[in-house]
Copies of this chain bind each other. A is one copy, B any other.
Amino acid sequence: MARVVVDVMPKPEILDPQGQAVANALPRLGFEGITAVRQGKHFELEVADDVDDATLAKIAETFLANPVIEDWTVRRVEA
């Protein structure tokens, strides 16, 4: 059994109002020095050992991300 992490982020050219709201709020709340915030999604999957990287990429691209507006990365982590 392997642990797989998929991170999904809005593409750089896509506006990110949630992230911008956080970035704009922090100085008002007394936290200086945070110049940009982008918000995306983080998935943790428990995967059988015989699931290969191509299958994981297909799952990420098809079901976890919207490839029109989002980039995604897949990485295996130690269980």
A residues at B contact (CB < 8 Å): 1, 7-9, 19, 22, 25-26, 29, 31-48, 50-51, 55, 58-59, 63-64
Contact = CB atoms under 8 A, between A and B. Distances in A.
Contact of A42 (B1, B32, B35, B42): B42
A42 B44 contact: no
A44 B9 contact: yes
Task: Name the residue in A19, A26, A34, A46 with the highest tally of chain B Cβ atoms < 10 Å from its Cβ.
Answer: A34
Contacts of A44: 9, 37-38, 40
A51 to B, nearest CB: 4
B38 A43 contact: yes
Nearest to A7: B42
